[in-house]
């Protein structure tokens, strides 16, 4: 077993310029607000959503691209070098990815909301270019990890298939955008399902599993996940994903169910590993963030069970919509928000330390009050929007959107406060450094 806390030794040397990861995090905060604002403003489109462009599709991609993928890019660019001690090939390319991806997502979401095919095409092209740069940079680093150090195998083992899934999801997304203007697909619903599963479980799912095997032990200062367990979870997850995708492509419900069951086996082993990490943790007080992570794990299990029911036709007319909501909102968004509550203060403190400053205490960087308020609003939003979708009732959807919007604003205030405290700390350290340098020069002149 490894002890991931040891990777902090010398990790400051692998920190990027803070403006690189934080630009992705800042954009994710904006799209998080936009996501709930669209749901609150257009509850009818959400409650009766059956596909096609409009505010509901714009809200969905504000989540998938604007929040989930945006955050994954920021976390990957910074946490992979920190966790492995191996730098990315070029910081300039990480900036270049943001120049294409962030405006591309904005244009794409606008095009979807306004049902504008030209804007969707331009935005989709920008998104694809940004993701292509991201995939090349991260794949090259993960390949070096795979060749060099077994201890970090989960990052490359889960990460490389995640990048393959991302490439497939991007291609399918571009096909769907093009079909919206020309209508050449014979089975658009099937391609849409492949796109959702590939992006949700293939890319984000694999990435979440791989990073969990490193970040949770790191944050809790516990023993890591044994390599054998990581490989078993990986194998079951990959076979489950392949079976589900084959079932969708061939229209075979039994294959879809087999994929969901393999996924459940994989998740059960993964959760056992996570529970052991928490049981052996030296740092046990994780506050609200661990509650959000556990809620995300609950929704992961629930989404796979709902996927089985949907494949067998037992979940009703809204079954697939509820399945997508459970995966994207219940599991991925909830879990990600919990993880970010730890990552933002963690990276901020590391940036302060690398600059020679004494970082603020964690209790000052991440006070429990705002995090609890956000978690309450987020949980209420999930319940209300899910109820509104299940009942096809716009009022609960609107109320849930307003609760989510309030939670997103609270979360943004929390994140901005972290950044402000770290910036103040760096500014103070800079002044102290200049004063010390001036004193040194004066002393030399006197001598």
Chain segment 215-238, per-residue pLDDT in tens: 888 777 777 788 888 889 999 999
Winning range, highest mean pLDDT, from 6-15, 84-93, 183-192: 183-192
- Whether 145 has a pLDDT exceeding 90, the answer reads no
> Which position has the higher pLDDT, 325 or 16?
325
- Whether 381 has a pLDDT exceeding 60, the answer reads yes
Per-residue pLDDT, averaged over 296-310, amounts to: 94
> Which position has the higher pLDDT, 109 or 419?
109
Q: Using 50, 70 and 90 to split pLDDT, how confident is the model at 14?
A: low
Q: Is 321 helix (H, G, I), strand (E, B) or coil?
A: helix
Per-residue pLDDT, averaged over 41-52, amounts to: 91
The helix/strand count (H/E) of the chain reads as 17, 0
Confidence at residue 437, expressed as pLDDT on a 0 to 100 scale: 43
Q: Is 134 helix (H, G, I), strand (E, B) or coil?
A: helix
Residue 351 domain-assigned (yes or no): no
Cβ atoms of 72 and 204 closer than 8 Å: yes
Chain segment 77-95, per-residue pLDDT in tens: 888 887 777 778 777 888 9
Per-residue pLDDT, averaged over 26-30, amounts to: 95
- Whether 3 has a pLDDT exceeding 70, the answer reads no
By 3-state DSSP, what share of the chain in percent is helix, strand and coil, each rounded to 5? Answer: 85, 0, 15
Per-residue pLDDT, averaged over 288-299, amounts to: 93
The residue with tokens 């714009």 is 58
**The whole model's pTM is what?**
0.89
Give 11's DSSP letter: G
Confidence at residue 90, expressed as pLDDT on a 0 to 100 scale: 73
- Whether 159 has a pLDDT exceeding 90, the answer reads no
Sign of torsion over alpha carbons 287, 292, 297, 301:
positive
Residue 319 domain-assigned (yes or no): no
Cβ atoms of 425 and 358 closer than 8 Å: yes
**Residue 37 belongs to a domain with what CATH number?**
1.20.120
- Whether 12 has a pLDDT exceeding 60, the answer reads no
Q: Using 50, 70 and 90 to split pLDDT, how confident is the model at 441?
A: very low
Q: Using 50, 70 and 90 to split pLDDT, how confident is the model at 369?
A: confident
Six-digit token string for 344: 């933002």
Confidence at residue 361, expressed as pLDDT on a 0 to 100 scale: 65
> Which position has the higher pLDDT, 366 or 344?
344
Residue 109 domain-assigned (yes or no): yes
Q: Using 50, 70 and 90 to split pLDDT, how confident is the model at 69?
A: very high
Residue 439 domain-assigned (yes or no): no
Percent of the chain exceeding pLDDT 70 equals: 87
Winning range, highest mean pLDDT, from 146-150, 240-244, 422-426: 240-244
Confidence at residue 149, expressed as pLDDT on a 0 to 100 scale: 57
Per-residue pLDDT, averaged over 335-358, amounts to: 77
Range of the domain at 59: 12-148
Per-residue pLDDT, averaged over 145-171, amounts to: 81
Six-digit token string for 354: 């690398």
Sign of torsion over alpha carbons 126, 208, 220, 147:
negative
Residue 400 domain-assigned (yes or no): no
Burial 403-441 (b: 16+ CB within 10 A, else e): bbbbbbbbbbebbebbeebbeebbeebeeeeeeeeeeee
Q: Which string of DSSP letters, residue by residue, matches 252-292? A: -HHHHHHHHHHHHHHHHHHHHHHHHHHHT-S----THHHHH
Lowest mean pLDDT among 32-36, 342-346, 377-381: 342-346
CA distance 333 to 64: 9
Confidence at residue 40, expressed as pLDDT on a 0 to 100 scale: 97
Q: Using 50, 70 and 90 to split pLDDT, how confident is the model at 2?
A: very low
Q: What's the CA angle centered on 263, arms 261 and 269, to 5 degrees? A: 110
Residue 348 domain-assigned (yes or no): no
* Helical (H) or strand (E) element with 233: helix 227-250
- Whether 245 has a pLDDT exceeding 60, the answer reads yes
Per-residue pLDDT, averaged over 281-308, amounts to: 89
CA distance 385 to 281: 35
Nearest Cα residue to 229 out of 278, 273, 277: 273
Query: Number of folded domains in the chain?
Result: 1
Residue 271 domain-assigned (yes or no): no
Q: CA 396: distance to chain centroid?
A: 26
Residue 118 domain-assigned (yes or no): yes
Mean pLDDT, rounded, of the chain = 85
Question: Distances from the Cα of 424 to the Cαs of 208, 272, 273, 352, 356, in angstroms?
Answer: 32, 41, 39, 10, 13
Q: CA 362: distance to chain centroid?
A: 22
Cβ atoms of 395 and 43 closer than 8 Å: yes
Helical packing angle, 368-391 and 288-311, nearest 10°: 20
């Amino acid at each position: 077993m490894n002890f991931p806390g040891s990777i902090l030794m010398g990790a400051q040397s692998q920190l990027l310029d803070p403006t690189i990861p934080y630009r992705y995090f800042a954009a994710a905060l904006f799209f998080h607000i936009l996501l709930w604002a669209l749901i609150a403003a257009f509850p009818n489109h959400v409650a009766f959503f059956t596909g096609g462009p409009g505010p509901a599709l714009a809200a969905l991609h504000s989540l998938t691209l604007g929040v989930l993928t945006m955050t994954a890019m920021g976390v990957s660019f910074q946490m992979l070098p920190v966790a492995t001690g191996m730098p990315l090939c070029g910081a300039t390319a990480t900036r270049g990815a943001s120049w294409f991806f962030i405006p591309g997502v904005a244009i794409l979401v606008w095009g979807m909301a306004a049902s504008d095919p030209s804007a969707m095409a331009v935005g989709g092209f920008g998104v694809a270019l940004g993701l292509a740069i991201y995939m090349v940079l991260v794949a090259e680093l993960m390949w070096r990890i795979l060749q060099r150090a077994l201890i970090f195998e989960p990052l490359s083992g889960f990460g490389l298939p995640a990048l393959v899934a991302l490439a497939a999801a991007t291609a399918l997304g571009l096909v769907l955008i093009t079909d919206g203007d020309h209508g050449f697909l014979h089975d658009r619903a099937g391609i849409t399902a492949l796109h959702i599963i590939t992006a949700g479980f293939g890319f984000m799912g694999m990435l979440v599993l791989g990073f969990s095997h490193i970040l949770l032990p790191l944050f809790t200062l516990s023993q890591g996940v044994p390599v054998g367990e990581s490989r078993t979870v990986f194998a079951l997850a990959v076979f489950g994903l392949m079976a589900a995708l084959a079932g969708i492509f061939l229209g075979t419900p039994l294959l879809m169910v087999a994929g969901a069951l393999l996924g459940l086996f994989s998740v059960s082993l993964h959760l056992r590993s996570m529970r052991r990490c928490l049981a052996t943790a030296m740092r046990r007080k994780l506050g609200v963030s661990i509650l959000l992570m556990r809620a995300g794990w609950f929704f992961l299990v629930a989404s796979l069970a709902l996927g089985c029911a949907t494949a067998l036709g037992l979940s009703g007319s809204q079954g697939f919509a509820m399945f997508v909501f459970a995966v994207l909102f219940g599991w991925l968004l909830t879990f990600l928000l919990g993880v970010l509550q730890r990552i933002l203060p963690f990276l901020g403190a590391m940036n302060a330390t690398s600059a020679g400053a004494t970082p603020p205490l964690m209790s000052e960087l991440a006070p429990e009050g705002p995090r609890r308020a956000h978690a309450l609003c987020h949980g209420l939003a999930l319940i209300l929007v899910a109820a509104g979708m299940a009942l096809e009732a716009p009022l609960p959807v609107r109320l849930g959107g307003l609760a989510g919007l309030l939670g997103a604003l609270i979360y943004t205030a929390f994140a901005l406060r972290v950044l402000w405290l770290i910036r103040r700390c760096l500014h103070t350290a800079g002044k102290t450094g200049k004063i010390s340098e001036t004193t040194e020069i004066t002393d030399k002149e006197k001598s």
